[in-house]
Structures are given as C-alpha cells and as structure tokens.
C-alpha cells in the first residue's frame, strides 16, 4: 500500500504576528490531527507550541481550529478530512495567542470565580434519586475545553468578555442551580454580571461540544426561563406578593 502524505498548514506566530507554515506528514492508520502535530514536533519543528495532555478526549487541553472548525485535535481523525488539500490547523480565535496553537485561556478562570459556589441547604438530608441528578450529571461531563466559549459569536466576534460569561459558565451555573440540594439563587447574577441576556440561542456552542452536552436546550434556555419567572412574569410577582414566598 502506497504511503499517504498529508500537508498540514499550521499557524506559527504569536499575538502580534505570524504566518501559516506547511508541513508534510506521513499518514498512518487511525491517525488523529494531534498525532500529526507530534510528528511535526519530533521531526521538523521541535518548538511548535501546542497544549495537550491525555490524548483521549478527556482533559480538554488540545482545542484548536482544524479546517476552520473548532475541535479537539486528539479526536479529529485525519481520514475524516480531505487529504488532497492542505489541512489548516489554527489556534482558537476567541482568545489571545501565546504562541502557535497555544492561547491564553485565563479569562475563563476569572469568570468562574464570579459564580456562587455550591451551597447546600441547611439541615438537608444527603439522599438523592438518580432521576434528580441525571440532568446535572450531563452538565458535569464538561471537560472545560472552552470550544463553546471560542465559537460563541458574542465572545468570538463581539468580544464581550466583560459583559458575558459564555456557554461554559451557563452550564456550570445550571449544574449548581439544578443540584437537588443547592439553596443559593443565582438568578440576579445570571441577569447581571454573567449577562445571559446576550445569548440569542444560535446554538453554535452545542454544535462544537465534544461531550455532546445540549448546552442551549438543557442549560441556557431553562436558566432564561427561571429569570423570566423571577423578574418578568407579572402573575408570579403578584402571587409572590400575596403569599410572601421567594
């Protein structure tokens, strides 16, 4: 069998300057893009900067944009890509480039600090049914790859990092709000500092999530509905006033 060679067109550069460089890489059975990047490091460009760790799609380190599509490099098969033209491998666009394929994702860790942590209700019994934890378990599959943050146009195109927390953090907030034993109310936070109002249900986040978390339908929309209940529904406001409930 003749050996196949692919051309990877990889971004080399930093925040200020850079260019795409072509590398020829032999293709082996079942190869993923990250394998190709490793081959380039070992044989052609030892200082090619790339972040990776587990190579099994569990740590969320190797996020990049391959042929324009945000993905994890360790689970993007070479044989799923057209090999008769260069395969572009670029860093995530929404974050400042450190070098080559490595971006500065520290903003995400700062946003995280704004979210009220898990606060169990006082005196609560530590028993939960599987049916009650199923939907929160979906959210906790998140591996913090930040691909959803990267693809969301509010961050990617409009750079609203000060006003908008992004899909990953709505998933985290939803996981806390829907935890059967949590007692905190994060609705004011969602409406204010986290800026959930900026989301207009485009669903690009859901499309790129490697864990297949239904971000928009299962996390963001229910949170928006809670906000509406709490702040915008005249009927519930009246009921609340009469019965003095929260």
Partner 1 sequence: MIAAAQYETHEYDVLIIGAGGAGLRAAIEALAQGARVAVVCKSLLGKAHTVMAEGGLAAAMANVDKADDWGTHFRDTMRGGKFLNNWRMAQIHAQESPDRVRELEQWGALFDRTADGEILQRAFGGHTFKRLCHVGDRTGLEMIRTLQDRGVAMGFDVFMECTVTRLLKDGDRVAGAFAYWRNSGSFVAFRAKAIVVATGGIGKSWRVTSNSWECTGDGMALAYEAGAELLDMEFVQFHPTGMVWPPGVQGILVTEAVRGEGGILRNNKGERFMEKYDPKRLELSTRDVVSRSIYTEVKEGRGSPHGGAFLDISHKPADYVKRKLPSMYHQFKELADVDITKGPMEVGPTCHYVMGGIRVEAETGQSSLPGLFAAGEAAAGLHGANRLGGNSLSDLLVFGRRAGLAAHQFAQTAPLPLIDDAQMEDCARKALTPLERTEGESPYAIHDDLQGVMQNLVGIFRTDQDLRRALEELNKLQERAKKVRAQGSRVFNPGWHLCFDLQSMLTLSEACTRAALARRETRGAHSRLDFPKTDEEWGRKNQGIVKKGDTMTLFEVERAAMPAELQQILSEEKTAD
Q: Which is nearer to partner 1, 38 or 240 (CB)?
A: 38
89 φ/ψ angles, rounded to the nearest 5 degrees: -130, 110
- Residues making contact with partner 1 (CB under 8 A): 14, 28-32, 34-35, 41-43, 46-61, 75, 77, 98-100, 102, 104-106, 109, 112-113, 117-118, 120, 126-130, 133, 136-137, 140-141, 143-144, 176, 179, 182
C-alpha 226/C-alpha 232 separation (Å) is 10
Q: Name which of 14 and 163 has its Cβ closer to partner 1.
A: 14
What CA–CA distance (Å, rounded) separates 12 from 212? 30
Q: Which is nearer to partner 1, 127 or 241 (CB)?
A: 127
Six-digit token string for 222: 């229910």
Instruction: Note every long-range contact of 173-177, with CB atoms under 8 Å and residues 24 or more positions apart, other chains counting.
Output: 173/115, 173/219, 173/223, 174/136, 174/139, 174/218, 174/219, 174/220, 174/222, 174/223, 175/136, 175/139, 175/140, 175/219, 176/115, 176/116, 176/117, 176/118, 177/223, 177/226
Q: Work out how close the CB of 79 gets to partner 1 at its nearest, in angstroms, rounded to a whole number.
A: 10
Least CB distance from residue 182 to partner 1, whole Å? 8
Closer Cβ to partner 1, 50 or 165, answer by number: 50
Smallest gap from residue 111 Cβ to partner 1 (A):
11
CB neighbours (10 Å) of residue 246? 5
Beta carbon nearer to partner 1, 35 or 154: 35
Q: How far is the CB of 212 from partner 1 (least distance, A)?
A: 8
CB of 84 to partner 1, least distance (A): 22
């Amino acid at each position: 069998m003749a050996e196949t060679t692919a051309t990877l067109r990889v971004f080399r550069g930093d925040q200020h300057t850079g260019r795409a460089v072509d590398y020829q890489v032999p293709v082996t059975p079942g190869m993923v893009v990250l394998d190709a990047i490793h081959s380039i490091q070992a044989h052609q460009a030892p200082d090619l900067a790339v972040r990776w760790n587990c190579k099994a799609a569990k740590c969320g380190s190797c996020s990049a944009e391959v042929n324009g599509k945000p993905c994890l490099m360790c689970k993007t098969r070479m044989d799923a890509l057209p090999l008769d033209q260069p395969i572009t491998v670029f860093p995530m666009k929404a974050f400042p480039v450190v070098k080559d394929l490595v971006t500065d994702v520290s903003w995400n860790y700062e946003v995280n600090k704004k979210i009220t942590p898990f606060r169990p209700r006082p005196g609560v019994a530590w028993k939960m049914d599987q049916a009650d934890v199923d939907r929160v378990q979906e959210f906790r599959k998140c591996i913090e790859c930040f691909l959803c943050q990267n693809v969301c146009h509010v961050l990617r195109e409009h750079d609203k990092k000060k006003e908008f927390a992004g899909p990953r953090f709505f998933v985290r907030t939803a996981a806390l709000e829907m935890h059967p034993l949590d007692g905190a109310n994060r609705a004011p936070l969602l409406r204010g500092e986290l800026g959930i109002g900026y989301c207009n249900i485009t669903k690009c986040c859901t499309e790129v999530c490697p864990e297949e978390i239904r971000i928009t339908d299962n996390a963001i929309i229910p949170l928006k509905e809670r906000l509406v209940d709490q702040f915008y529904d005249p009927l519930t406001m009246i009921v609340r006033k009469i019965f003095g409930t929260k």
